[in-house]
A and B are shown apart, each in its own frame.
Chain A
Amino acid sequence: MSLSGVEGPRPAVRSGCPGSDNIVSIRDLAYARGQTMIFDGLDIDIRRGGVTAIMGPSGTGKTTLLRLITGQELPDHGSVTFDGAEVTKMSRRELFRMRKRVGMLFQNGALLTDLSVYDNVAFPLREHTRLSERLIRHIVLTKLHAVGLRGAWQLMPSQLSGGMARRVALARAIVMDPEIIYYDEPFVGLDPISMGVVVRLIRRMNDALGLTSVVVTHDVDEVSSIADCTFLLSEGRVVASGTPQDLQDHHSETVVQFMAGMADGPVPFHYPAPDYSEQLLSRSGK
């Protein structure tokens, strides 16, 4: 089945926000970096089988949240569970065992620059399985075909455009057939065509492969078109959650400001600063 033919029917039953079958649960999470509180009492449930979007303005700690969910960082307080297991208490061995069930698409792709496209996608298979090279070749070409880059197998990462690199990274993320994929800002820096392809790929792969997808982004329109459930973060907490339509209809000022992209609102556009005229007229100018 080709996943690169990106148009197609959506599943009849979509996993909505509420539900008891959660693959990831975050409870009362607190995390500070230095004196700055990033999260304070964060609660999020990620429903198995759905596409969950985590949105928020820049600097709200969306990427940090992914690092906490995947055990790359430890919270100061609270719990993160993956399929019932407490991530914050896992040993390194247990973390690695969990990560074998997880795929992650980094913002910049994080392809290994000394390996070709083919070797990048084959990398997890060679590290974790004893499959023959013939079988690895079959799997790698299948995954590359799914993202439309089978013809680019011999290229090096430096020869790829941003969108292509993101798609190769996606092929690598699904090569071990994970249960859940985390996407860290998958739409940043993509041209409209690449963005459309990646948006639809996320949804199609989720449905075709029976995955759970978590998309961290601030691109409202793109993610709203594919998400089943959306969480909006601000000031270390979830300020709104629900289906994308629920957020569009939300009356909270913070939500309205974010969804409509307004400069004025509870989330300040300007970083805290002294009076503008006073600073301009002061002697030091600083």
Chain B
Amino acid sequence: MSNATIRGLRRLALEVLYSLRGFFGTFGAGQLFLLRIIVNMPYALARPRLIIKQVYVTGVQSLVVIMLAGFFVGMVLALQAHLTLSRFGAEDTIGMVAALGLVRELGPVVTALLFAGRAGTALSSEIGLMRATDQLSGMEMMAVDPIKRVVVPRFLGGVIAMPILAVIFSAMGIFGAWLEGVIILGVDEGAFWSQMQAQVDLRDDVMSGVIKSVFFGIAASLLAVFEGYNCVPTAEGVGRATTRGVVHTSLTVLVLNFMLTAWLLGGN
């Protein structure tokens, strides 16, 4: 093996080690940040108005995006399901297929991805800009902990909003599937609803989707506020933090979804 190859391999190994160190460093910092959030929760809980405002900002202001996305995802789901199931004469089950797909997987996952893109970026950039314009330092100088006053209400707002948004996404998806399947493709309406009612279980299906979305809400909100709070206080730094927040949240949601699915299915 030539010296150049050895040098190249050594450099590669060092790069991997540095990346791993960076990853575990950020992971550890993220856990400590979550701990600080948990410790400071009583302050925010004693000021519910702060949390309600954030539920409005992250939840209500995301409603249009979530409802539109849910509606079209439901329509596509019905279209695809009809195409495949009609080959076996089972097109009556598209209501059940759409509902299961939505409440178990697509609702929580797509909502979390949309949340990362809409509310997550808003959270990261807002907190990052507060950092860049000395608003957080100003709070510290007024003896007000920004974690309590800024971070915790936004985190809790996201955690509360996410399951509600996921449920609304699924409901809109089912409506889209009904419109596509029953009204446009002519599937029997009674079969559509009765199949869904018979096969979708409240505890196993609906609740598993809600549980997932709670975890996704924690992950997405944590990553968004963490990136914003720890950004480099410049225009470029805020931009980078916002991008990092979306990318990390998207990947985390997908990995977490697999783990949660395995755990929830394992319980059956």
Q: Judge whether A110 and B143 touch: CB under 8 Å.
A: no
Complex Cα distance, B137 from A114, in Å, reads: 16
Q: B140 touches which one: A72, A113, A124 (CB < 8 A)?
A: A72
Complex Cα distance, B135 from A106, in Å, reads: 9
List B133-164 residues whose CB lies under 8 Å from chain A: 133-135, 137-145, 149
Q: Judge whether A106 and B138 touch: CB under 8 Å.
A: yes
Q: Judge whether B141 and A99 touch: CB under 8 Å.
A: yes
Complex Cα distance, B138 from A99, in Å, reads: 11
Q: A106 touches which one: B130, B134, B143, B145 (CB < 8 A)?
A: B134
Assign chain B's interface to a size class: 10 to 19
Q: In this complex, what residue of B is CB-closest to A100?
A: B143
- Binary interface profile of B, 190-206, with partner A (CB < 8 Å = 1, else 0)? 00000000000000000
Question: For A176, what are the chain B residues with a Cβ–Cβ distance below 8 Å?
Answer: 142
Assign chain A's interface to a size class: 20 to 34
Q: Judge whether A104 and B141 touch: CB under 8 Å.
A: yes
List A81-111 residues whose CB lies under 8 Å from chain B: 96-97, 99-100, 102, 104, 106-108, 110-111
Question: For A104, what are the chain B residues with a Cβ–Cβ distance below 8 Å?
Answer: 138, 141
A127 contacts chain B at the CB level, 8 A cutoff: yes
Complex Cα distance, B145 from A19, in Å, reads: 35
Question: For A99, what are the chain B residues with a Cβ–Cβ distance below 8 Å?
Answer: 140-143
Nearest CB of chain B from residue A168's CB, rounded to whole Å: 12
Q: Judge whether B133 and A110 touch: CB under 8 Å.
A: yes
Most chain A beta-carbon neighbours within 10 Å: one of B130, B138, B149: B138
Nearest CB of chain A from residue B207's CB, rounded to whole Å: 36
Q: Can you add 13 more A-B contacts, CB < 8 Å, to A110-B135, A110-B137?
A: A99-B141, A99-B142, A100-B143, A106-B137, A106-B141, A108-B134, A110-B138, A112-B139, A113-B129, A113-B135, A123-B142, A124-B144, A127-B143
Using a CB–CB cutoff of 8 Å, the interface residues on chain B facing chain A are 129-130, 133-135, 137-145, 149
